[in-house]
A and B are shown apart, each in its own frame.
Chain A
């Protein structure tokens, strides 16, 4: 049982809060777009990913259980 990070790029406005909360998962680059460094960051990162989900001003991040 793992999970996958899902970003709705239609909603994402690159506020970059997720990058601050979980820099090992989310990266906003110089082109102002968000890149997922991994879609399956593993259990160690779960707390930070959940935090990023909650802190996203656009509610653009979700987690799919697998």
Chain B
């Protein structure tokens, strides 16, 4: 088996193969030189300086050795022949395999930096350490472009380090396109509670400075002074290396319900797009938890007969730690869903809210309410009705 991508999905996939008794050869290809590591701490503990890089390893050395895999780290896959099941590497070599698992993830969208220093994106360990070094040098003001989850976590970490932070968001409400206006407004308040200068509804026209960034020019004609900028405006799935491979590419590697992209080829994690039968929707999910579950599912798909293949039908879930709040969202929500608060209140920033669409429970959002999120995640999985779920909450 060949696994392309040595991060969370790829590593957990390899472990699943071994756990299920696969004893053939496994080659794991990763374009970063590092052993597999965990990304969530990169915007939190590691960036804060609370942890050192050694703590983000995904598995200890012994567990990695037990995989008995042929690791090709620091090597980029540059091509795939789907019919021949051969992966071409950037050193000119090829890896042929019976089964190939694609887990090449995604990379950050970027803004033109005009060649200025001090402008970063955050995806990998090296990005994190570069931003951490900048924060260590006591900048005057940090600007974060994008108030999504990564931007929000970076802003929270920088504020907790005592730095002045401006967050610039093009939408009128942070996360408005995901959580809806009402819940997005709560996220905005959490930032303001912690002294962030929040600029909403404005885009970035460009950056200015002499060698190093000094200011961010905004679309409304105003500007923000900043000597460190972190841009968090979303990611792009890494599929360029698959062009001409014979696989269907459309905002990710297009798979069937079972994560199969072509005979003997599966995809998992941020790069995979598949129809989730639970929601009747084609989705690509960029969450940590999905990388594990889909990595495992896709690995099992590779070694199972077509007739035994199971659909992959999860309720997507993620968490985001910002300041002292743990925000969790389970399900598949849209801005125009019905939203009902079932526990706590938005004023105290500790609550759970249910999302309903066409009579069905489709999501649950929690601010410091993990028990509720998991309980209603189960109900989403069972296909519960929205009003039924609200009634269950009333009886609690």
Contact = CB atoms under 8 A, between A and B. Distances in A.
Interface in A6-30: 13-17, 19-20, 28-30
Given A13-B326, A54-B292, A20 B371 contact: no
A33 to B, nearest CB: 10
B227 interface: no
A15 B319 contact: yes
- B38, B293, B371, most chain A CB atoms within 10 A: B371
B203 interface: no
B7 to A, nearest CB: 15
Nearest to A21: B374
B31 to A, nearest CB: 24
B378 A15 contact: no
A55 B15 CA distance: 13
Interface residues of A, number: 15
A57 interface: yes
A39 interface: no
Interface in A28-54: 28-30, 32, 54
Contact of B374 (A13, A20, A54): A20
B288 A17 contact: no
B40 A57 contact: yes
A19 B377 contact: no
B273 interface: no
B96 interface: no
Contacts of B292: 54-55
B328 A15 contact: yes
Nearest to B328: A15
Interface in B307-352: 317, 319, 321, 326, 328
Contact of A32 (B289, B319, B321, B368): B368
Residue among B15, B288, B328, B374 facing the most chain A CB atoms (10 A cut-off): B374
29 contacts: A13-B326, A14-B326, A14-B370, A14-B371, A15-B328, A15-B370, A16-B373, A16-B374, A17-B317, A17-B374, A19-B371, A19-B374, A20-B374, A20-B377, A20-B378, A28-B371, A28-B374, A29-B371, A30-B371, A32-B369, A32-B371, A54-B15, A54-B292, A55-B289, A55-B292, A55-B293, A57-B40, A57-B288, A59-B38
Given A19-B371, A20-B374, A57-B40, 19 more contacts: A13-B326, A15-B326, A16-B370, A16-B373, A16-B374, A17-B374, A19-B374, A20-B377, A20-B378, A28-B371, A32-B370, A54-B12, A54-B15, A54-B292, A55-B289, A55-B292, A55-B293, A57-B289, A59-B38
